[in-house]
Amino acid sequence: TQFFTGLRGPEISFIFEKWSTRKKIKLDGVVLVAVNYDRKKKKAYITLMPEKLFNILNKVLPKELSIWWVDSVREDYGINTSIIRKAWVAVTVGYLDEAERNLLEGRMKSIEVKHYMKHIMDIAKRYKQAFTQYEYLIDSLAETSEISSQDLSE
């Protein structure tokens, strides 16, 4: 999820736990999720994710993650999740400008978010172009979580 959204660990935990109460809008193969995470200086208003990933998450969420899940991933599997966020930036850099990436990563002030929401359809289209080449990762995730290809396209 972090690779496809660019969100921080606590923001992922938040949307996983609050999944059923988050507003979600399908935008031609991409889903906009209203995050509305606000903790001190960390704020994330919206994120985008491929519809295939959304379909998987819809089947398994809501789910409460430990606040320490990022530490567990690092200790148990040797994966530093901040690298995954950097990979998200590398994937999107040729498709989204810095302000658009900041919007989706949760690094934008609320007043600026309102402006970019006017362009969300165009942003979603370019986001989809950026991640099309990585959809096979979602397919392999579905295989490991025993979710069929038919479920992904619902």
Helix boundaries (H) for 20-117:
51-60, 69-77, 81-92, 98-105, 110-117
Is it the case that residue 150 has pLDDT exceeding 50?
no
Q: Which uninterrupted H or E stretch holds 21?
A: none
Residue 134 pLDDT level (bands cut at 50, 70, 90): very high
Name the amino acid, one letter, at 2: Q
Q: Which pLDDT value is given to residue 145? A: 60
Question: Residue 30: what pLDDT?
Answer: 97
Q: What is the pLDDT of residue 152?
A: 44
Helix axes 9-17, 69-77, angle to 10 degrees: 120
**Model's pTM, two decimal places?**
0.84
Kindly calculate the radius of gyration of the chain based on its CA atoms and give it in whole angstroms.
Answer: 15
The pLDDT score that the predictor gives to residue 101 is: 93
pLDDT in tens, 88-119: 999 999 999 999 999 998 877 777 787 888 89
More confident position, 13 or 126: 126
User: For residue range 111-129, what is the model confidence (pLDDT) as tens digits?
Assistant: 778 788 889 999 999 999 9
Q: With bands split at pLDDT 50, 70 and 90, how would you rate the model's confidence at 132?
A: very high
